[in-house]
Structure 1
Amino acid sequence: MARRDGGVAVFTVDAVEVYDARDFPDEKVYGAAPRPELRVITCGGGYSRSTGYRGNVVVYAHLTGSR
């Protein structure tokens, strides 16, 4: 990720988790973090033609440096 100073932020992935839409952990995903973190959220889980994806995939990462 390019930074304002022209450097690049480096993130390390900590976990990739799949959540059912009914059990999505709002606070864990959208809540404050004690360090610079990145959370990537996309559709995932099972798929139904009538309702679409039944959940989400969340990638959790934290800032480990810059270059």
Structure 2
Amino acid sequence: MMRGPRGQIASAVVMMVVAVVLAFLMVLRLIEPTLGLCFASFILSVGGILLGMIGLSHYVRPRDGGKG
């Protein structure tokens, strides 16, 4: 597993893709939409967004030493 902000961003993207695929499969009735699956899809989506925002906030690189 990658560490650091890039790893967090990659994990967030994977979480959001899994959430969308789960929701899509439930809409098509290829898997039975249960309360647990709907909740898991929602949690993966929200968790991915939060983890991605944290990763993006840590990805900020300083410019030329702060001298302007």
TM-score by length of 2: 0.24
Q: Which is higher, the Rg of structure 1 or of structure 2?
A: 2
**Which structure shows the higher helix fraction?**
2
Q: Higher strand share goes to which structure?
A: 1
Provide the TM-score with structure 1 as the length reference. 0.24
